[in-house]
């Protein structure tokens, strides 16, 4: 099918105004939040309902055209790059919250709703949707489900997977499946809901989502612990949890990140310290007070030079926002920011932090690290320049060592950002050869013609981790 026939067929499905194909428009959809990858799609389509998604997929399967589902493209694994062209299926017109069910404590919504919009709607009814990726103001629930997004509250509340109860999804054939639902218990057959969560747009297009909500915590309190030794900060994380405190947020920032955030947001962070921990607890007031007090004592015992307890929940929220600025603040420092999410059991956090710093020295790179320390989920972030190919080669080698170390410590190559394009060739390190083969068979069962987000997640023999492909 030539391009003009494809565009006309798509216009007939979604309406002329919802199809883009000018060179300028296509260029705007050639990239996502992941550095180093760019490739223009053939056409961009904005469906307005499930029936339109179905018709687009039927057309694409019949014509063997790749389809790349897309929310707001904030993913950090190249998940929405149209590596072989194809139809960019942007789900943002599907942005209605259809129902908040107070009796069953669920919300049912379309995939283009942003994470923050759902959280706000729940909050207005005294309810709580905990998953809160740093991108929550922009990221969509469809993207969150497809990436199994985590966030700052993962330690206590879990990740997106723990809240998704049911899905409507369209298969590449155009068939519509419904998985799960509002039942607290449901063991009918294989758990297709869990399979689709984290499937990175490679198995089906998600068109409706039912999530669990929980009662809103009564109160919350936060504090900052400031350390002159980053090893002390990393050790403190494991000790807090050993002491049976599960904070809702336990975040780590190293000196490079603190300096960048302070320069960007001017929130009063001490720029001369080596590391800080942001600790937040929520729940009944007495429990929150006791936990923050004990966590503070542990920080002091481990050598914190200062403890700043937020006087009000609002002050605590401001400190949490400072942490959310980390990536944006670091991204201002050099032309290219390569952020990773190697993850280890938290008991190995101190060792992993030390290793990342050694690797940075070995490869003469600037790597700043921050992350969800309570989850062992670190974001070593390399500040580099994609035009310097020799340096990018060193970045590649440095991250290969970091992933290798994470696996050796019983960790994983990605805690929340997904495999996408960047980490396919490391996936076997984590899941083994047999694991890859099972995944290939699952992909073939859902998408025998391989039209849905092809070239993502599963390894390719030839592709290196970092490829600059100009579109």
Ligand X SMILES: Cc1cc2nc3c(=O)[nH]c(=O)nc-3n(C[C@H](O)[C@H](O)[C@H](O)COP(=O)(O)OP(=O)(O)OC[C@H]3O[C@@H](n4cnc5c(N)ncnc54)[C@H](O)[C@@H]3O)c2cc1C
Binding site for ligand X (CB under 6 A): 32-33, 68-76, 79-80, 91, 111, 133-135, 139-140, 142-144, 146-147, 149-151, 200-201, 205-206, 327-328, 416-417, 453
Tell me the closest approach of the beta carbon of residue 41 to ligand X, in angstroms: 12
Q: Give 348 or 372: the residue with its C-beta nearer to ligand X.
A: 372
Tell me the closest approach of the beta carbon of residue 185 to ligand X, in angstroms: 26
Q: Give 147 or 391: the residue with its C-beta nearer to ligand X.
A: 147
Tell me the closest approach of the beta carbon of residue 162 to ligand X, in angstroms: 13
Q: Give 134 or 296: the residue with its C-beta nearer to ligand X.
A: 134
Q: Give 32 or 254: the residue with its C-beta nearer to ligand X.
A: 32
Tell me the closest approach of the beta carbon of residue 290 to ligand X, in angstroms: 28
Q: Give 80 or 384: the residue with its C-beta nearer to ligand X.
A: 80
**CA-to-CA separations, 191 to 107, 161, 179, 411, in angstroms, rounded:** 20, 12, 8, 25
Q: Which two tokens stand for residue 94?
A: 């599907």
Q: Give 75 or 259: the residue with its C-beta nearer to ligand X.
A: 75
Compute the Cα dihedral for 310, 313, 316, 322 and give only its sign: negative
The SS3 of residue 398 is: helix
Query: CA angle, corner 323, sides to 240 and 286, nearest 5?
Result: 45
Q: Give 197 or 367: the residue with its C-beta nearer to ligand X.
A: 197
Tell me the closest approach of the beta carbon of residue 243 to ligand X, in angstroms: 25
Tell me the closest approach of the beta carbon of residue 110 to ligand X, in angstroms: 9
Tell me the closest approach of the beta carbon of residue 374 to ligand X, in angstroms: 13
Q: Judge whether 277 and 227 are in contact, CB under 8 Å.
A: yes
Q: Give 46 or 363: the residue with its C-beta nearer to ligand X.
A: 46
CA 199 vs. chain centroid, Å, equals 13
- Closest-by-Cβ residue to ligand X is 143
Q: Give 156 or 417: the residue with its C-beta nearer to ligand X.
A: 417
Tell me the closest approach of the beta carbon of residue 251 to ligand X, in angstroms: 10
**CA-to-CA separations, 280 to 218, 245, 308, in angstroms, rounded:** 14, 11, 12
Tell me the closest approach of the beta carbon of residue 149 to ligand X, in angstroms: 3
Q: Give 7 or 135: the residue with its C-beta nearer to ligand X.
A: 135
Tell me the closest approach of the beta carbon of residue 328 to ligand X, in angstroms: 6
Tell me the closest approach of the beta carbon of residue 143 to ligand X, in angstroms: 2
Q: Give 79 or 455: the residue with its C-beta nearer to ligand X.
A: 79
């Amino acid at each position: 099918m030539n391009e003009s026939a494809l565009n006309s067929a798509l216009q007939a499905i979604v309406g002329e105004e919802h199809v883009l194909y000018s060179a300028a428009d296509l260029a705007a959809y050639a990239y996502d939040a992941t550095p180093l990858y760019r490739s223009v799609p053939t056409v961009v389509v904005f469906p307005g309902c499930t029936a339109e998604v179905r018709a687009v997929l039927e057309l694409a399967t019949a014509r063997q055209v790749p389809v790349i589902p897309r929310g707001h493209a904030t993913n950090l694994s190249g998940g929405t790059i149209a590596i072989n062209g194809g139809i960019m299926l942007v789900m943002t017109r599907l942005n209605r919250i259809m129902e908040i069910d107070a009796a069953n404590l669920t919300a049912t919504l379309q995939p283009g709703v942003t994470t923050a919009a759902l959280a706000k709607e729940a909050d207005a009814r005294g309810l709580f949707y905990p998953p809160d990726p740093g991108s929550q103001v922009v990221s969509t629930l469809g993207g969150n489900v497809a990436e199994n997004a985590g966030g700052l509250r993962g330690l206590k509340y879990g990740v997106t997977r723990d809240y998704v109860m049911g899905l409507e999804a369209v298969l590449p054939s155009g068939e519509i499946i419904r998985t799960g639902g509002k039942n607290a218990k449901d063991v009918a057959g294989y758990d297709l809901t869990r399979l689709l969560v984290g499937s990175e747009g490679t198995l089906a297009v998600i068109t409706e989502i039912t999530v669990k909500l929980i009662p809103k915590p009564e109160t919350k309190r936060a504090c900052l612990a400031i350390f002159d030794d980053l090893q002390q900060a990393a050790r403190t994380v494991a000790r807090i949890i050993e002491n049976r405190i599960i904070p809702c947020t336990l975040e780590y920032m190293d000196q490079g990140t603190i300096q960048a955030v302070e320069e960007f947001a001017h929130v009063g962070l001490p720029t001369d310290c080596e590391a800080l921990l942001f600790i937040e607890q929520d729940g009944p007031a007495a429990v929150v007070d006791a936990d923050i007090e004990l966590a503070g004592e542990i920080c002091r015992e481990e050598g914190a030079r200062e403890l700043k307890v937020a006087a009000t929940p609002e002050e605590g929220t401001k400190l949490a926002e400072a942490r959310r600025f980390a990536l944006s603040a670091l991204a201002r420092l050099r032309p290219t920011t390569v952020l990773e999410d190697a993850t280890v059991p938290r008991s190995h956090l101190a060792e992993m932090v030390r290793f990342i710093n050694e690797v940075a020295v070995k490869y003469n790179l600037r790597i700043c690290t921050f992350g969800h320390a309570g989850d062992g989920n670190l974001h070593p972030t390399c500040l580099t320049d994609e035009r310097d190919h020799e340096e990018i080669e060193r970045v590649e080698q440095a991250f290969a060592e970091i992933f290798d170390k994470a696996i050796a410590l019983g960790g994983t190559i990605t805690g929340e950002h997904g495999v996408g394009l960047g980490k396919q060739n490391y996936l076997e390190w984590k899941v083994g050869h047999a694991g890859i083969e099972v995944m290939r068979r699952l992909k073939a069962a859902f998408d025998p013609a391989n039209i849905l987000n092809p070239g993502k997640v599963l390894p390719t023999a030839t592709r290196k981790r970092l490829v600059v492909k100009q579109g």
